[in-house]
Structures are given as C-alpha cells and as structure tokens.
Amino acid sequence: MTEETFKMCFALLRQEYKHELKDFAQEEIHSRMKFWYSEFKDIPDEAFTDAIRRIVRTKKFFPKVSEIFETLQESVIPKVDHDVEFQKAIEVIKSNPIRTVYYTCQESGEFKHHTTSLTDVLKKLAPATARAVRHIGIDRMINLDDRVWVKKEFAEILEDARSENINLIIRNGLSVSNMGGIGNEQRNIGDGE
C-alpha cells in the first residue's frame, strides 16, 4: 500500500475515534502510525481502504491491529457456513457415485465405457470443500456413525484452507476472481469441468 493511502485511512480513523485519541501525545500517535504502516504496508490499497471503511461503520472503539486483520480477512473471502458446505458435499457425493462403470451404445453400434472418479466428483465442489472431502475421504463423509467428528474435522479443514487463501490473496494483492475460485464459492453441481 502507498504511504498516502495509509495516511488517509489513519486520518479517517483519527477523525472517527477522536474521543479515544484525545489523551495521546502526538509522538505516541506518530509512533503508532509507524508501527501500523509496518504491519499493513504489504496490503493492497483497495483492500485496506475497504477494511477501514467497514471498521468505521461497525466498530464503536478505535480498532486494534488484530481487528483490522480480521476485517481484511472477512472482506477478502467471506466466511462460509460449514454445515451448508458439508451438506452440499454430501449431496454431490451421493448424487455422483464413485467408480460407477456404465456403457453407452454409440450410433456406430460400438459401446463406450464410462466411469466416475473421485476427481470428477471433486470438480463439482468448491476448491476448499473439495480439499476437505479429499482429506477426510468419501467413506467417512457419508458414514452416519462418525458424523459429528467428521463435521468438526471438515470445518477445521475449511477454515485452514480459507486462512491460507486469505494470506495468499492479501500478500499478493489478488482478488478471489483472479485466483480462479480459490475461496469457498460453490460451483454448479451440473458442471463437469
């Protein structure tokens, strides 16, 4: 981020939260600005500006560095409902049996061999969801006896994938669309690609 953008955002925070900063000496505010800039200098201008605007609209108190990072994360890749993603994965798995072998008769009278592989099924899921399914395994995903623990593990893997993607996006100044769907966007179940 440019120093200009940072100064503009910090000025906005100073204006909005002036009642909290009135007891601080100018040297202390300047020191805090230097520290903040060192923490946020790798963040793209637009992402940082959007995060500060969201904070000003939603937070009552002057934000901590950790709160700004949380807001940045939420703005880059929105949180997902783990239960909804889990149910979508189960639906895709059940509607696309793995290793199904079937034949179709071609116009020429020849039979064509078809199979559905795990890769075919995973392509129909969002990348983070597919990663969780691959890690857990199809059999454990559909096993009702172990459902509570599987859901917990599924949620942890989704969050790990989300955090890795957020860090990659923030550090490289990319958007989710530039990454080809690296987040938790759901692909259409009918897509074979």
The per-residue pLDDT for 20 is 84
Residue 9 has a pLDDT of 93
Q: What is the pLDDT of residue 113?
A: 62
Specify the pLDDT at position 175. 47
Average pLDDT, 10 consecutive residues per value, the chain (193 residues): 91 89 84 88 85 92 88 72 88 75 64 68 83 85 83 89 71 49 39 37
pLDDT of residue 78: 63
What pLDDT sits at residue 159? 83
pLDDT at 79: 67
Domain boundaries, the chain: 3-76, 82-179
SS (H, E, C) the chain: CCHHHHHHHHHHHHHHCHHHHCCCCHHHHHHHHHHHHHHHCCCCHHHHHHHHHHHHHHCCCCCCHHHHHHHHHHHHCCCCCHHHHHHHHHHHHHHCCCCCEEEEECCCCCEEEEECCHHHHHCCCCHHHHHHHHHHCHHHHHCHHHHHHHHHHHHHHHHHHHHHHHHHHHHHCCCCHHHCCCCCCCCCCCCCC
Which pLDDT does position 94 carry in this prediction?
82
